[in-house]
């Protein structure tokens, strides 16, 4: 069940959002929630293309067929691995070209083969004589891919026991059979197994596949496609680089150095989506197992999710990693069992894991739940499937709204704060303004309508004047001088984005714009965010001063230290002060010293975050400008600025700050006034 979107600020993350929800008990009475992070999918895609540039990903639809994931991968230019007629219909319905689909099921129904023929999906796999006969009768012009068996030494699910022919004994007879039927075999595929931990097996599997290419060549068959299947690790904490090393090594030796003209594709599923979903689950009930002495030996928890929903694919690869909870971090670890919510005795999420003790209504956070659980969840026993909240940043939202995709209407329903939208070009701003006005009109957001109206009137005023001249850089790096209105028309006509590169060119004294595809803009935006993040980190390191003094410091030394701090503050440095304790009475002396600082620097600085830690008293002193900003950012909803109220106020119990929550934890996480999880 989908329930809207959450726009995540670039300074925040889904991980922080899940912590806020868990720590403030925001799931109580709401049922389980899955946070789907589309930016994680984007990062995985870019990581793949960077590390395996010669391997085109054909996403395995069966792994997670959520429409938002599929449309994002369409926009990113992925191919697709479909295993049924229904999956073919879904992907073709998204506008994917038939040549970007492989029907990777060696045991197909006759109706699905006829459907593939009707829609022009030519590539399909086989591993038996009977399948060849079926295809020869129904779709003789199909382009066939021979699936061989090559299991990893260590995999969660070794698929060779079900699919794939023996490469040494069966491959050559099958190729001869295909030749007798006058069928076109264009390549070889394999799948080493789901959740492979044997990275080296890809090297040997590729070598074995190339041997079959050579055998086919001797039969007069010129194969040109190698499909290296799936099995790649999907969690952010699992190493992908080992797989990359052996794949690139094999491709270099067997294809590049041999000067073979072979197209290489893969069928990643888990890799693309596993880390993109975080499951938030409530504790419904708990009980204890005790020994004969009455001591607790195990805690049994009953959770508001289970084997028939988010944890349907709960094999040893998916041992739940409980990330956050409301219990104290210092609580002792206790042997625990996590049961699902249905009445089935096999509805067990995890056995014999060590956890701090939790209470009823605590929220447990399970990362890496994006593979198979959402696709296989079915709401058994009358329970509804988990709520799905789609999380994305401004860059991804903008790309989906304005990029070359057909799912725009759904994404413009995102629950967003309008002021967070990036202004990429006049055309894009106008397009989103129109859509946002319709959304706000339905939701009653007056500020959105006013903003749209003001923007519209501004646009009208601009039309009355001559459009300014700008320098326009085309995709081929050609440079032309046009007016801004014409540049906007060119971008719309070519379905490109008009991105402002520079406010003023030193030579021409004109603004500089560049035409980009949606993918190019998204890549540049990700780079910009990384550079901005790095510059902030560098500035923070450069701008901090640390001062450590003893509670027994002499008066003249303290006066000297205060004067130094005043000088630092006037130069806009942030000062971190540590007052160390030393014997009895230290606490009072530390407070006196803090008071001295506060009195003497009030004209140029402000003390924030004062706290006692061990025997020390610590506090930060911010320059006046920074102090004012921090004060506004940390203000409570009742006393904060108007902008912050718009970001943080919610109705009823939806606001975690209403119960004295942590405003700092929510900074940068925006949600609509109707409630984050409404």
The domain that contains 571 carries what CATH number?
A: 3.30.110.10
Closest to 653 in 3D by CA, of 33, 27, 34, 2: 27
Domain boundary among 268, 302, 337: 268
Q: Does residue 406 belong to any structural domain of this protein?
A: no
Domain boundary among 390, 412, 445: 390
Top pLDDT among 288 and 528 is at 288
Average pLDDT, the chain: 76
Number of helices (H), then strands (E), belonging to the chain: the values are 22, 26
| Confidence check: pLDDT of 675 > 70 | no
Q: Check: CB of residue 19 under 8 Å from CB of residue 405.
A: no
Q: In this structure, what are the phi and psi dihedrals at residue 88, rounded to the nearest 5 degrees?
A: -60, -45
Q: Are 220 and 185 contained in the same domain?
A: yes
The torsion of the CA quartet 402, 407, 413, 415, rounded to 10 degrees, works out to: -70
Stretch 194-220: mean pLDDT: 90
pLDDT, residue 330, reads 57
First to last CA, the chain: 13
Closest to 422 in 3D by CA, of 568, 555, 524: 524
CB atoms within 10 A of CB 636: 13
Domain boundary among 390, 405, 421: 390
DSSP assignment letter at 26: T
**Tens digit of each residue's pLDDT (9 = 90 or more) over 573-592:** 888 898 888 766 788 888 89
Stretch 529-547: mean pLDDT: 64
The domain that contains 185 carries what CATH number?
A: 3.20.20.10
**Tens digit of each residue's pLDDT (9 = 90 or more) over 322-374:** 655 555 555 688 899 998 888 887 788 888 888 888 888 888 888 888 888 87
What tokens appear for 522 in the block?
Answer: 């998204």
Q: Model pTM greater than 0.85?
A: no
Q: Are 94 and 168 contained in the same domain?
A: yes
What are the helix (H) ranges across 340-423?
373-376, 394-402, 408-411
Q: In the sheet that 512-516 helps form, which strands lie side by side, from edge to edge? A: 479-483, 469-473, 512-516, 497-502
Q: Are 209 and 326 contained in the same domain?
A: no
pLDDT, residue 414, reads 36
- The rounded distance, in Å, linking the Cα atoms of 592 and 608 is 16
Q: Are 128 and 11 contained in the same domain?
A: no
How confident is residue 315, by pLDDT bands cut at 50, 70 and 90?
A: low
Q: Are 209 and 75 contained in the same domain?
A: yes
Q: Check: CB of residue 387 under 8 Å from CB of residue 30.
A: yes
Q: Are 286 and 254 contained in the same domain?
A: no
Top pLDDT among 664 and 393 is at 393
- The rounded distance, in Å, linking the Cα atoms of 336 and 529 is 41
Closest to 562 in 3D by CA, of 595, 540, 591: 595
The domain that contains 371 carries what CATH number?
A: 2.40.37.10
pLDDT, residue 229, reads 93
Q: Are 177 and 286 contained in the same domain?
A: no
> Which range is least confidently modeled, 56-65, 83-92, 528-537, 547-556?
528-537
User: Concatenated DSSP letters for 263-287?
Assistant: EEEE--SHHHHGGGEEEEEEEEEEE
Reduced to 3 DSSP states, what percent helix, strand and coil does the chain have, rounded to the nearest 5?
40, 25, 35
- The rounded distance, in Å, linking the Cα atoms of 214 and 254 is 11
How confident is residue 301, by pLDDT bands cut at 50, 70 and 90?
A: very high
- The rounded distance, in Å, linking the Cα atoms of 14 and 9 is 10
- The verdict on whether 344 is a catalytic residue reads yes
Q: Does residue 616 belong to any structural domain of this protein?
A: yes
| Confidence check: pLDDT of 188 > 80 | yes
Closest to 270 in 3D by CA, of 154, 156, 189, 384: 156
Q: Are 225 and 282 contained in the same domain?
A: no
| Confidence check: pLDDT of 622 > 60 | yes
Q: Are 74 and 199 contained in the same domain?
A: yes
Question: How many structural domains are present in the chain?
Answer: 3
Q: Are 139 and 219 contained in the same domain?
A: yes
Q: Are 252 and 302 contained in the same domain?
A: no
Q: Does residue 187 belong to any structural domain of this protein?
A: yes
Q: Does residue 288 belong to any structural domain of this protein?
A: yes
Q: Does residue 58 belong to any structural domain of this protein?
A: no
Give the active site residue among 344, 391, 401, 420.
344
**Tens digit of each residue's pLDDT (9 = 90 or more) over 255-267:** 999 889 999 999 9
Three-state secondary-structure class, residue 38 = helix
Q: Does residue 85 belong to any structural domain of this protein?
A: yes
Q: Does residue 424 belong to any structural domain of this protein?
A: no
**Residue 551 domain boundaries:** 541-628
Burial 220-232 (b: 16+ CB within 10 A, else e): ebebebbbbbbbb
| Confidence check: pLDDT of 463 > 50 | no
| Confidence check: pLDDT of 538 > 60 | no
pLDDT, residue 415, reads 34
Residue 306, CB-side half-sphere exposure with 13 Å CA sphere: 25
pLDDT, residue 218, reads 93
What angle do the packed helices 110-119 and 129-138 form, to 10 degrees? 50
For 637: left if phi > 0, alpha if psi spans -120 to 50, otherwise beta; the answer is alpha
Q: Does residue 518 belong to any structural domain of this protein?
A: no
Q: In this structure, what are the phi and psi dihedrals at residue 375, rounded to the nearest 5 degrees?
A: -75, -35
Q: Are 181 and 157 contained in the same domain?
A: yes
Tokens 């197994």 appear where? 193
Element (H, E) at 577: strand 574-580
Top pLDDT among 346 and 102 is at 102
């Amino acid at each position: 069940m989908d329930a809207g979107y959450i726009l995540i600020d670039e300074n925040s993350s889904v991980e922080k959002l899940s912590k806020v929800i868990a720590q403030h008990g925001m799931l109580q009475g709401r049922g389980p929630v899955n946070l789907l992070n589309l930016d994680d999918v984007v990062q995985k895609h870019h990581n793949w293309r960077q590390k395996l540039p010669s391997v085109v990903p054909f996403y395995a639809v069966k792994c997670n067929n959520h429409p938002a994931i599929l449309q994002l991968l369409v926009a990113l230019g992925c191919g697709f691995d479909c295993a049924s007629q229904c999956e073919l219909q879904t992907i073709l319905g998204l506008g994917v070209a038939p040549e970007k689909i492989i029907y990777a099921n060696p045991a197909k129904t006759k109706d699905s083969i006829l459907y593939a023929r009707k829609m022009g999906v030519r590539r399909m796999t086989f591993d038996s004589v009977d399948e060849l006969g079926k295809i020869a009768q129904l779709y003789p012009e199909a382009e066939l891919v021979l699936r061989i068996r090559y299991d990893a030494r260590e995999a969660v699910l070794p698929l060779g026991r079900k699919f794939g022919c023996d490469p040494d004994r069966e491959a050559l007879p099958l190729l001869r059979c295909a030749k007798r039927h006058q069928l076109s075999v264009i390549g070889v595929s394999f799948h080493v197994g789901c959740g492979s931990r044997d990275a080296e097996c890809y090297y040997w599997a590729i070598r074995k596949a190339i041997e079959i290419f050579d055998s086919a060549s001797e039969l007069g068959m010129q194969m040109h496609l190698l499909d290296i299947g799936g099995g790649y690790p999907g969690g952010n904490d699992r190493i992908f680089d080992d797989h990359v090393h052996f794949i690139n090594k094999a491709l270099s030796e067997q294809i590049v150095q041999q000067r073979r003209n072979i197209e290489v594709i893969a069928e990643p599923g888990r890799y693309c989506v596993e880390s993109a979903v975080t499951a938030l689950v409530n504790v419904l009930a708990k009980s204890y197992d005790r020994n004969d002495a009455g001591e607790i030996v195990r805690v049994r928890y009953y959770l508001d999710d289970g084997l028939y929903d988010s944890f349907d694919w709960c094999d040893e690869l998916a041992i739940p990693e409980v990330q956050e909870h409301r219990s104290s971090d210092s609580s002792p670890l206790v042997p625990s069992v996590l049961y699902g919510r249905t009445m089935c005795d096999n509805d067990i999420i995890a056995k014999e894991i060590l956890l701090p003790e939790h209470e009823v209504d605590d929220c447990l956070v399970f990362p890496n739940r994006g593979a198979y659980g959402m696709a296989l969840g079915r709401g058994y026993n009358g329970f509804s499937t988990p709520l799905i909240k789609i999380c994305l940043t401004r860059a991804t939202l903008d790309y989906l709204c304005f990029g070359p995709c057909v799912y725009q209407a759904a994404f413009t329903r995102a629950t967003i704060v309008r002021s967070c939208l990036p202004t990429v070009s006049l055309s894009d701003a106008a397009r989103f303004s129109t859509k946002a006005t319709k959304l706000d009109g339905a939701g009653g957001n007056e500020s959105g309508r006013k903003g749209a109206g003001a923007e519209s009137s501004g646009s009208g005023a601009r039309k009355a004047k001559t459009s300014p001249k700008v320098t326009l850089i085309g995709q081929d790096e050609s440079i032309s001088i046009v007016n801004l209105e014409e540049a906007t028309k060119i971008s719309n006509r070519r379905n490109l984005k008009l991105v402002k590169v520079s406010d003023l060119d030193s030579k021409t004294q004109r603004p500089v714009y560049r035409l980009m595809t949606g993918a190019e803009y998204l890549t540049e935006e990700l780079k910009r965010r990384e550079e901005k993040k790095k510059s902030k980190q560098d500035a923070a390191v450069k701008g901090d001063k640390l001062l450590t003094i003893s509670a027994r410091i002499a008066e003249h030394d303290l006066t000297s230290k205060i004067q130094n701090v005043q000088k630092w503050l006037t130069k806009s440095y942030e000062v971190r002060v540590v007052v160390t304790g030393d014997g009895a009475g230290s606490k009072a002396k530390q407070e006196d010293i803090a008071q001295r600082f506060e009195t003497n620097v009030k004209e140029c600085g402000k003390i924030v975050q004062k706290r006692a830690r061990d025997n020390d008293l610590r506090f930060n002193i911010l320059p006046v400008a920074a102090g004012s900003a921090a004060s506004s950012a940390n203000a409570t909803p009742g006393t904060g600025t108007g902008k912050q109220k718009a970001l943080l106020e919610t109705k009823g119990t939806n606001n975690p700050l209403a119960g004295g929550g942590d405003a700092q934890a929510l900074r940068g996480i925006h949600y609509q006034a109707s409630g984050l999880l409404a």
